[in-house]
Structure 1
Amino acid sequence: MNSPLRTKLLEYGREVIELELSEAKKLPARLDHNFIQACELMLTTKGKVIVSGIGKSGHIGKKIAASLASTGTPSFFMHLTEALHGDLGMVSETDIIILISYSGQANEFNYILPILKDKGIPIIAITGKKTSPLARAAKAVLDVSIEREACPMGLAPTSSSTNTLLMGDALAITVMRAKNFNEEDFARSHPAGSLGAKLLNRVKDIMRTGELIPKIPENATVFDAMLELSRTGLGLVIICNTDRHIKGVFTDGDLRRLLLKDGTLNDPIIQVMTTPGYRLPENWKAIEALKSFNDYNITAAPVVDQNDCLVGAINIHDLHQAGIS
């Protein structure tokens, strides 16, 4: 590849970005009572927000619908053509619809706009033509008009589709903030992601239970503790009575230190254990447990219920394996 062509490639790319940024900078000044009304419609609807478009507008519409759904506004995308062949049955009188079309004159509007009007479904129009049939039928008109597409032929939607995407983001995030939608709400929409793991998982969801809990009775010896440490590999053994109340804990580090100080495996565990021992409430969020481990410089702990009875055990590796970091 010769040097002049490489220079041209960079020039073309920068021109596109600069043109689109130039058009996008005009958007904030266009937000007016129409934007407020669109947000109010979305905040007060008892149904869903349906987003619809065709062509490039449809592709942008899918992203807008996904952004709305993940930020607390129930929403789905409906292809404009499919709407006229049965999908309109998914729209109820409690819904509102966002119709996206730069020209606002798609042939499909001749069929769909009268039906939406008869059903009393409010329309939010995202368009570049404020006098189009779509704009005239809408309760709120969001102006994404441009002076110039980044496409040198003015044919491929570029600046206009960027403006549409930005307007959709402005709607989604504004409504999200108005609803006081927070990180935990977001995590419920993304339970499989790292944020979901941090904010939704509780200690009781991750802890070891049943036979996986390293525990020994009060009359046990250091030898019994060593066997339990080896069996479970948690790095900690819990000393508790028959009522599951914790009397103390003993770690593999405690074992090494004891033997270095001439302790024996026959020593009663009750004489060498740490009392009362740190423990975690089962209803704590997993991220709180990790912070506690770091604050106290420990790697494992018993887990107790609201009555302070032993119900599980957990270590820092369990948290990391669950995506808590």
Structure 2
Amino acid sequence: MTRLVVVDGAGGFLGRHVVRALRDRGMRVRATDRPGVALPDADARVHVDLSCDPLEPLFAGATHVVHVAGLFDLAAREDALRRANVAVARRVADAAVIARVRRFVHVSSVTVYGRPRVAPVREDARRRPESAYERSKHAGEDAVGAIARASGLPLVIARPSGIYGPHGRYGLAAMASTIALAAASGRGHRSLRSETRMTHVHVEDVASACALLCDERATRDEDVLDRAFHVADATPVTWSDVARTIERFYGLEERAPVRVTPLRARAMQIAGRLASARLARTNASLARRWEALVGERGLEHALTPRIDVDAYDYWRADHVYDTSALRGLGWSPRWPDAREGLRATLEWYVRERWLPAP
């Protein structure tokens, strides 16, 4: 039977790369996203609002689904996160049941574990979500899992670590734009240093993992169905390493850096929540300064520097994830070290005029 894969969220950061990875494996792809969102090249492109539009036409004839659509924003309201990451996941899974797809790959996140207690984390570790975003990803997994148990939906769960790479607008992208703004303005830069470690993952490597998990010609059902797989690179790096990579790209010197211990990271998080109005003013100031730089340098309106207090969770413990299960299927990252991948990503941002040149 000819394979036809529905990829939702196909116009987003990860989705566009998943579409390409599937087509590279010889699969036909029907790409979809919200009305008005530009879609990548695919065998068919359909604009659908997954939250309210009828989904039967979208899934007609589909044999596989990669559910990428969701909301990744640590500062978003919990009701918005649950609509995007739980309610939509449930609607898509229900439609996939009706279409009788052969595999449903649900893209979740390692954030379902909350703050890890051990390193590396295995897929059978207890899930302890804390933030609103983490709870929404946990609930999304539970929603599709319940549907799979009740209906026999052939479910596979992918849990990527922190994703970065071309077209990324958040996470390390926000960090990079903040440091780039400091370098361009000449106002100096307050270097923060944390020795907690994390295994990140390049977006191309997440896409290749999703394509592999979707491909029943390359992976047997008994090896992947009803299982979750971590998707992360091979090299735990400290947050100091990440910051230095960006600072060196922009030629910023390290001047009396502020050492952030896990305890201090927690204090910074609490202080940011208590002083939310002050944080909002800081982020508004960053956005204004960035907009001025965009106009001055003729950059694309793609990135915005911002500070999210919940991001300090990543500085409170090591976030290192065991990928032996996925590697056992034959997957390996093209970008095994985030420092190398991040440098290449920064060069992409400069070429595409998302960031100013050093």
**TM-score for both structures, normalised by structure 2:** 0.29
Structure number with bigger Rg: 1
TM-score, with length taken from structure 1: 0.31
